[in-house]
Amino acid sequence: MDITAIITGRRSVRAFRPDPVNQEHLLQILEAARWAPSPHGRQPWRFVVATQPMLKARLADAMGEEWQRQLALDGQEEAIINLRLEKSHQRIRGAPAVIVPCLYLEDLDQYPDPDRQGAETTMAIQSLGCAVQNMLLRAYSLGLDTGWMCAPLFCPDTVRAALDLVEALIPHALITVGYAAKDPVRRPRRPLEELIVRWD
């Protein structure tokens, strides 16, 4: 597959067939992350891979409880909360593999002022995004599909506890990996002329 076909073909998949993803493919996906650009080459990312049903269920349950609390705070109806929770549970439990990319800031430069430190952290987050995109593209090139869930960003402590992670790891997303149950409807893209706000 050529690079353009991979970039444009990659799509967000939210329901997977039960077929497992082989370990070699998962390793190739993680290997792609390793080659992403990073500030000062510090590679501020670490990954958790969950394929065992028990671990995926523990993660889904823990995040579900926290989400339920947050949705109740928003004043959402109980029936709607339960429906959304069940869908989210199913997305995680039904994915053959789940990768949790974590931000790791310990190797970054330290500055005495908050502005520069903030820029350093932003660079690391941008870089984590590059690593995740590499994974999504590599997965697609291997005939797999992926889905990006931002939920861990809203409950990093819960995810850390469910996965027994040290404090320095900041869970930033949950990437489901598997074979699409059906082709998803793609979101349209803005035309290029709308995106280029100035050229010279």
Ligand X SMILES: Cc1cc2nc3c(=O)[nH]c(=O)nc-3n(C[C@H](O)[C@H](O)[C@H](O)COP(=O)(O)O)c2cc1C
In the complex, the residues that contact ligand X under the rule CB under 6 A are 11-12, 14, 148-151, 186-187
Strand partners for 180: 16
Cβ-based nearer residue to ligand X, 91 or 160: 91
Cβ-based nearer residue to ligand X, 165 or 175: 175
CB of 159 to ligand X, least distance (A): 13
Q: For residue 142, which of 15, 30, 17, 18 has the smallest C-alpha distance?
A: 30
Cα separations (Å) of 30 from 17, 37, 160, 170?
A: 21, 14, 20, 18
CB of 125 to ligand X, least distance (A): 10
User: For residues 170 and 73, what is the distance between their CA atoms, to the nearest angstrom?
Assistant: 24
Q: For residue 155, which of 142, 147, 165 has the smallest C-alpha distance?
A: 165
Determine contact, residues 100/171, Cβ cutoff 8 Å. yes
β-pairing, 97-104 vs 174-178, is: antiparallel
User: For residues 176 and 16, what is the distance between their CA atoms, to the nearest angstrom?
Assistant: 9
CB of 51 to ligand X, least distance (A): 21
Cβ-based nearer residue to ligand X, 96 or 101: 101
CB of 186 to ligand X, least distance (A): 5
CB of 154 to ligand X, least distance (A): 9
Cβ-based nearer residue to ligand X, 151 or 169: 151
Q: For residue 89, which of 62, 60, 63, 67 has the smallest C-alpha distance?
A: 60
Cβ-based nearer residue to ligand X, 190 or 198: 190
